[in-house]
Amino acid sequence: MDCVLGIDGGGTKTVCIVMNAEKEILGRGETGASNYQSIGINAAFKSIELAIENAVIEALKTIKSLEVQVICLGLAGVNRPRDIEVIKKIVNDLQKSHRLPIMWELEQIIQPDNKSNNIIICHDALIALVGGICRDVGIVVAAGTGAIAYGRNHQGISKRVGGWGYILGDEGSAYQIAIAGMKAAIQAYDGRGELTSLVDVFTNHLQLETIEDLIEFVYRRGMGVKDIAAFATLVDSAAVDGDGVANEIIDDALGELVKATFTVIDAIFCPHIPNPSPQTIRNDDFEIVTTGSVWKGKSNIRERFIKVINQKYPYIKVILPRFEPAYGAGLLALKQYLQKSDSKAAH
């Protein structure tokens, strides 16, 4: 049976979906991280291979054989030509893998410019958008460890705001909320900043003798960005408990996520109209999907986000993801497959 593979490869997990032409999921496999810049090409290869294998084994319980027509990989941090080459090499090696009991049809279709277009490598935000909304038009506002607003309009034009990583950007992310919380605690301790319950919150939660031990915690214990980002929940809880400083931090994060979203809307959904009316946007007809841990905060950041968006654009619907990003990768692969079938049929 003809099928496509949708793969979501990230810093924590890798998910593979086997999808048929009717958008049905035939199999799903999940493994560990596959961001090759961090873990190396071999380890990334093995994660992707195992995710495919798990998905394919599941699919082969009900299907006799699988012929992979298109593969779409949505990968974090893959946007340079060199990265694309590395991933293409991985896909080529996958086709020689003896572990995978499938037929690959990827080499058959070569475009006039000598580029195969049945291997799609794209931004991880795009597959989150397509999986979340179930179409390739709209905006995803992802606020987890990192943060990005990524949109794609009806003309296929995309716009990204944020997503520059923990040093250069990611405003509105859990990492930035956590760091802002720690800084506020430190500045209160120094005597530079407003008094805040965050001093006690961090001291107690991390079992520190004094807040000075944050230095030990952050710099010396090899804490990663994800580990630090996890402390955003402490700031969120302090905000719910009425701490003014914590509430300011959450408000700032909300403001950044709103600004990023409006920037995407202005850039690609109503680019020719200086002051778009709600009507214009309504005509554009798109949804915004929110993903990531920040939206789950108890301080109602998501509800407030929706309110601010709808104050300006009442017709935009803000939704939770309908499907996971790997499903979005599957849909993108399928779109490509169906276009090919149409174009073959026409010849």
Contact residues: a copy of itself, CB under 8 A: 37, 79-80, 160-162, 164-165, 167-169, 179, 182-183, 186-187, 190-192, 212, 214-216, 218-220, 259-260, 263, 266-267
Provide φ and ψ at 211, rounded to 5°. -65, -20
User: CB of 93: closest distance to a copy of itself in angstroms?
Assistant: 23
Pairwise CA distance, residues 218 & 202, whole Å: 12
**Minimum distance of a copy of itself from residue 37's CB (angstroms):** 7
d(CA 59, CA 176): 41
Residue number, 152 or 160, with CB nearest to a copy of itself: 160
Q: Let me know: does 23 contact 60? Beta carbons within 8 Å.
A: no
Question: Rounded to an integer, what distance in angstroms lies between the CA atom of residue 127 and that of residue 130?
Answer: 5
Under a CB-based contact definition with an 8 Å cutoff, are residues 111 and 88 in contact?
A: no
Distance CA(134)–CA(286), nearest Å, equals 11
CB of 215 to a copy of itself, least distance (A): 6
> Closest CB to a copy of itself among 264 and 294?
264
CB of 39 to a copy of itself, least distance (A): 14
71 vs 33: CA distance, rounded Å = 19
Using the minimum distance from each CB to a copy of itself, give the nearer residue, 184 or 239: 184
CB 268 to a copy of itself: min, Å: 10
Longest alpha-carbon distance in the chain? 75
Q: Where are the alpha helices (DSSP H) in 147-277?
A: 165-168, 174-190, 198-205, 214-215, 225-229, 232-240, 244-264
Supply 245's token pair: 């400083």
CB of 258 to a copy of itself, least distance (A): 11
Contact 229, 219 (CB under 8 A): no
Of residues 220 and 344, the one with the C-beta less far from a copy of itself: 220
Q: Among residues 267 and 306, whose Cβ is nearest to a copy of itself?
A: 267
What is the closest distance, in whole angstroms, from the C-beta atom of residue 272 to a copy of itself in the complex? 15
The least CB distance from residue 165 to a copy of itself, in Å, is: 6
The smaller minimum CB distance to a copy of itself, of residues 112 and 191, is found at 191
As a residue count, the chain comes to 347
Choice between 32 and 224, CB closer to a copy of itself: 224
In the block, tokens 């939206």 appear at 295
Query: What strand order describes the sheet that includes 158-162?
Result: 158-162, 147-152, 138-143, 287-291, 317-319
Beta-carbon contacts of 136 under 8 Å, excluding residues fewer than 6 positions away, are: 126, 129, 130, 152, 156, 331, 332, 335
* Residue with Cβ nearer a copy of itself (134 or 245): 245
Packing angle between helix 301-312 and helix 244-264, nearest 10 degrees? 40
> Given the complex with a copy of itself, which of 172 and 321 has the nearer CB atom?
172
Amino acid at 108: Q
Query: Nearest distance from residue 84's CB to a copy of itself, in Å?
Result: 14
